[in-house]
Amino acid sequence: MLMFLKFRNFSHSIKYTQLKNQNPCFEFLRLCHFDSKLGLGSSSLAPTLPPQNNVAIFWDLDNKPPKTVPPFEAAIKLKTAVCSFGFVKYMVAYANRHAFSYVPQVVREERKHRKSLNQLENKGVIKPVESYLCRVCGRNFYNNEKFINHFKQIHEREQQKRLNQIESARGKRRVMLVAKYAMKMQKYKNAARDIVTPKVGYGLADELKRAGFWVRTVLDKPQAADVALKDHMVDMMDKRRAECLVLVSDDSDFVHVLKEAKSRCLKTVVVGDVNDGALKRVADAGFSWQEILMGKAKKDAETVVGRWKDRDVLKRLEWTYNPELEKNLHGMVYESDNYESKDEYDGNYSEDGDIDDILDGHDVGCLQKEDARGWWELDSNPEITSQSC
Quick one: which H or E segment has residue 287?
A: strand 285-287
- How far are the Cα atoms of 85, 211, 389 from residue 265, in angstroms, in the given order? 15, 29, 72
Backbone angles phi, psi at 251, to 5 degrees: -75, 125
- Least Cα distance to 156 among 201, 188, 203, 183 occurs for 188
Mean pLDDT value across residues 200-204: 84
E strands, 61-172, in order? 87-95, 132-133, 140-141
Let me know: does 59 contact 86? Beta carbons within 8 Å.
no
More confident residue, 66 or 34: 66
The partner residues of 380 in beta bridges, in order of sequence, read: none
Predicted confidence at residue 162, as pLDDT, reads 94
Strand partners, 95: 217
How far, rounded to the nearest angstrom, does the alpha carbon of residue 327 sit from its chain's CA centroid? 39
Q: Which has the minimum average pLDDT: 149-163, 254-268, 352-366?
A: 352-366
Element (H, E) at 229: helix 224-238
Q: How confident is the model at residue 388 (pLDDT cuts 50, 70, 90)?
A: very low
User: In the predicted model, what is the mean pLDDT of residues 16-40?
Assistant: 47
Q: What is the helix (H) or strand (E) element at residue 329, kind and residue range?
A: helix 323-346
Residue 304: the pLDDT is: 84
Q: What is the model's pLDDT at position 56?
A: 93
* Cβ neighbour number for residue 74 with a 10 Å cutoff: 22
pTM: 0.64
- Asked if pLDDT for residue 343 goes beyond 60, the answer is no
- What's residue 385's pLDDT? 47
Give pLDDT tens digits for 133-174.
999 999 999 999 999 999 999 999 999 999 999 999 999 999
Tell me the pLDDT tens digit for each residue of 303-329.
888 888 887 788 777 666 677 777 776
Q: Is the pLDDT of residue 179 over 90?
A: yes
Residue 112, pLDDT above cutoff 60? yes
Residue 23 pLDDT greater than 90, yes or no: no
Segment 80-97, tens digit of pLDDT: 999 989 899 999 999 988
**Burial of 220: CB neighbours in 10 Å, binned 0-12, 13-18, 19+:** exposed
Cβ neighbours for 158, distance < 8 A, ≥ 6 positions apart? 184, 188
Q: How far apart are CA 338 and CA 330, in angstroms?
A: 12
Q: 312 or 125, which is more confident?
A: 125
Q: Angle CA(217)–CA(220)–CA(223) in degrees, nearest 5?
A: 90
Phi, psi of 65 (to 5 degrees): -80, 155
CA-based radius of gyration for the chain: 40
Q: How much is the pLDDT for 79? A: 92
Does the pLDDT of residue 46 top 60, yes or no? no
How many Å apart are CA 354 and CA 74, to the nearest integer? 85
pLDDT above 70: residue 277: yes
Q: pLDDT at residue 215 above 80?
A: yes
Q: Which residue has the higher pLDDT, 365 or 353?
A: 365
pLDDT score of 181: 94
